[in-house]
Amino acid sequence: MIKKILKNIKAIKFYAQGKKFYNDRFYIDTENKTNREISKKVTRTEILNFLLSLKSNPTNYLEIGVRNPAHNFDLINANTKYSVDPGVEFAENPVDFKMTSDDFFKKLSAGEILSKDIKFDVIFIDGLHLAEQTDKDIVNAFEYLHEDGFVVLHDCNPPTEWHARENYDYHNTPAHKYWNGTTWKAFLKWRCNAVVNSCCIDADWGVGILSKKHLIGNSIESVNPFFEYYIFNENRQKELNLIDFELFKKYFN
Ligand SMILES: C[S@@+](CC[C@H](N)C(=O)[O-])C[C@H]1O[C@@H](n2cnc3c(N)ncnc32)[C@H](O)[C@@H]1O
């Protein structure tokens, strides 16, 4: 009887549930992997600035998905920079184009903003982290990229399936607030495209790089036609062409 009453007291229930989570091997493993990723030193900003530094002409940079520009956009060294964000996550949203990437590219191709003939040296895609949207962003980015330019994608290397969940809003998984979404699927699709060279820098949640001109990594045959996470995880090195940033820089020596 006393046991039954105790079981029904909310605080005790919460304690018992919480204890279960904190001792759960999925939680522990995921938290370790989150901490390992956070401790990696190289940042997306350093990588983007390195790619821009390879160009001798005045450089033109586009960022899709900006949130707080102080965290990346403002730190980018390019002669001309443009930013696109509908303002989902950062109310101030101080960007050039307050709209989704789809609307931006639609207006660009209709000649309503900038110039239809504009070309960028580096386009950083870090907007809505769902595979279908990321794939659309990549297709559109290549339309407006110089032949020797780079399309760069954030969040290509989710450390666990919880980081790679589709729903950003749910924070009670072992990954808590950390979210890479399903960008990895779009990147993997493009890794299998024979006209594109690609690799993923092993830092800052996986910085994927695509280039039609620079020989940064051969395309692969697909071994994961249904984009299943466990297959991706078993073949992560090859599927992403994961590479250390110092090694990547040597390609350009
Ligand atoms: C991860 S944050 C960007 C972080 C930033 N690039 C950085 O490096 O610090 C993602 C941003 O994408 C924006 N976003 C969401 N859906 C979008 C869409 N369809 N098109 C463009 N941006 C989008 C959100 O408003 C959010 O500010």
Taking residues 206-231, what's their average pLDDT? 97
Q: Is 236 exposed, middle or buried (0-12, 13-18, 19+ CB in 10 A)?
A: middle
- The pLDDT value recorded for residue 11 is 82
Q: Which residues line ligand 1 (CB under 6 A)?
A: 44, 63-67, 71-72, 84-90, 100-101, 126-128
* Claim to verify: residue 29 and residue 46 sit in the same structural domain: no
201-229 average pLDDT score: 97
Cα 127 to ligand 1 centroid, rounded to whole Å? 4
Determine the Cα–Cα distance for residues 147 and 121; give it in Å rounded to an integer. 9
Residues 100 and 148 in one domain: yes
pLDDT > 70 in the chain, percent: 99
Closest C-alpha to ligand 1, atom 25 = 88
Query: Which atom of ligand 1 sits closest to the CA of residue 87?
Result: 25
Q: For atom 11 of ligand 1, which residue has the closest CA?
A: 65
Structural domain boundaries, residue 222: 41-250
- For a ligand 1 pocket test, name from 64, 67, 138 the mutation site with the most ligand atoms within 8 angstroms of its C-beta: 67
Question: In the chain, how many domains are there?
Answer: 2
From 46, 47, 63, 66, the mutation candidate for ligand 1 (largest count of ligand atoms within 8 A of CB) is 66
Same domain membership, residue 181 and residue 123: yes
- Whether pLDDT at 7 is above 70: no
Q: From ligand 1's centre to the CA of 22, what distance in Å?
A: 31
For residues 11 and 89, membership in a common domain is answered with no
Does the structure show a pLDDT above 80 at 237? yes
Q: Which CATH number goes with the domain that contains 123?
A: 3.40.50.150
Average pLDDT (185-208) is 98
For residues 8 and 119, membership in a common domain is answered with no
33-71 tens-digit pLDDT? 999 999 999 999 999 999 999 998 899 999 999 999 999
Confidence of residue 6 (pLDDT cuts 50, 70, 90): low
Residue 199 has pLDDT above 70, yes or no: yes
Q: Do residues 58 and 30 both lie within one domain?
A: no
* pLDDT reported for residue 20: 82
Q: Are 97 and 84 contained in the same domain?
A: yes
Residue identifier of the C-alpha nearest atom 8 of ligand 1: 72
Asked if 120 and 217 sit in the same domain, the reply is yes
Residues 145 and 231 in one domain: yes
Q: Do residues 134 and 18 share a domain?
A: no
Within this chain, do residues 82 and 146 fall inside the same structural domain, yes or no? Answer: yes
Instruction: Check whether residue 96 and residue 30 sit in a common domain.
Output: no
